[in-house]
A = this chain, B = another copy of it.
Amino acid sequence: MSARNRSSRIDRWLLQKIYRAAGRPAIRLKLQNGAEVSPTDALPVASLVIPDRKTLFRLLLDPEAEFGDAYSKGRITLDGDLVSALEIFYRSMPQGEQVSWYVKLASKFVEYVQRNSLHGSRRNIHQHYDLNTDFFRLWLDPQLVYTCAYFPSPDATLEQAQLAKLDYVCRKVQLQPGERVVEAGCGWGALALHMAKNYGVTVRAFNISREQILVARRRAKELGLSHQVEFIEDDYRNISGECDAFISLGMLEHVGREHYRDLGSIMHRSLAKTGRGLLHFIGRNHPRPFSTWTRKRIFQGAYAPALSEAMQVLEPWDLSVLDVENLRPHYAKTLEHWLARFEKSSRQISEMFGPDFVRAWRLYLAGAVAAFHVGTLQLFQLVFARTARRQIPWTRAHLYTKDQNEEQETKWMHATS
């Protein structure tokens, strides 16, 4: 047997091993030099082209991390639709427990390095959210809402759906004029401003992303709402004073498992005797960390909890869960909108941050679309209240009544005009 033949047999053997480890997906795996594996029972939906044996070895060791990095650097390429291919991978890949010792070790290491201390959180948040507001403007809605939208119907626009989400949240916690709201992790301020403007509440909104806080303050000024909304550049652990409602959208993912009790104690300390609140977060069906690639390149220190884990925020403080809604299909749709807009602006983004960045973020957004489609990620909206709260709505019908929607329609008109 020639050296060349032996070499190609090793390549084929490695490819087969990767293919089996991935759960035999309906994807063709191709090595640039020619070796390939194809599904035997179905036509391949896409082809993955891998440059060399070094990459093959790395894929065997930590498939998610290596795939992410090699794809971002343009070394691995995909022939076919990225979202569809990722969905196939997510469906075929063995779940959780079967990951190798190497992946577990790497995962623990990343967790330690990215721990969410006061300082660590600032570093983790800065890395993603302070990128540059102009970048996010290219693919988010004009209000810059960077969390799952709520589509009253699937054909609503992203703008409508984000506005509907903001209002849905307000109605879920039944805000009343004059009440005091704390928002933990306020992004560019859209919810805080919506609450103040449409529900007559006062808001103290916290965020450790400087870039976002500066933009939010500017918008409050423009809207004449600076007297009602205070944007505070500080960590949730430093929240003080009393509030009637405690609301947090898309922050729990950045709190980290080891700090759930801290967050709960802050909520407990802040909430008035009849207080209530809402947590909106990416979650899981069962405990499982994000891939090391996601945590290294996209969301440092992030963790999406299973409900059993999220309960650690509430249970020590005798807070009652009133309502949990899984908005998974809404996040898949939101992300489809984001991904489409991102692609439209990809040239501009490449000029800002380079082509590797574009590919990494394309992979992140497409991967999230796929994960919410397939169900490896969930989106939970959880309403809670102190037991002493008596004004619990008798049913949830008020969230869906016709009048409400018409009124809502009017509000949208007003806000988008």
Contacts and interface: CB of A to CB of B under 8 A. Distances in A.
B318 A326 contact: no
A323 interface: yes
Interface in A117-162: 150-154
A306 interface: yes
A285 B329 contact: no
Given A154-B394, A387-B374, A320 B311 contact: no
Interface in A310-353: 311-312, 314-316, 318-326, 328-329
A285 B153 contact: no
Interface stretch (A26-34, A52-60, A188-196, A395-403): A395-403
Contacts of A323: 324-326
A218 B285 CA distance: 41
Given A306-B315, A315-B308, A400-B396, A375 B320 contact: yes
Given A306-B311, A311-B311, A325-B396, A320 B378 contact: yes
Contact of A378 (B286, B321, B376): B321
A106 interface: no
A375 B318 CA distance: 9
A399 B328 CA distance: 18
A60 B387 CA distance: 27
Size category, A interface: 35 or more
Contact of A324 (B152, B312, B321): B321
A406 B400 CA distance: 16
Contacts of A318: 95, 285-286
Contacts of A153: 394
A375 B307 CA distance: 21
Given A95-B318, A323-B324, A329-B394, 5 more contacts: A321-B380, A324-B324, A328-B392, A396-B400, A402-B402
A94 to B, nearest CB: 12
Interface string A76-98: 00000000000000000001000
Nearest to A386: B375
Contacts of A329: 392, 394
B388 A375 contact: yes
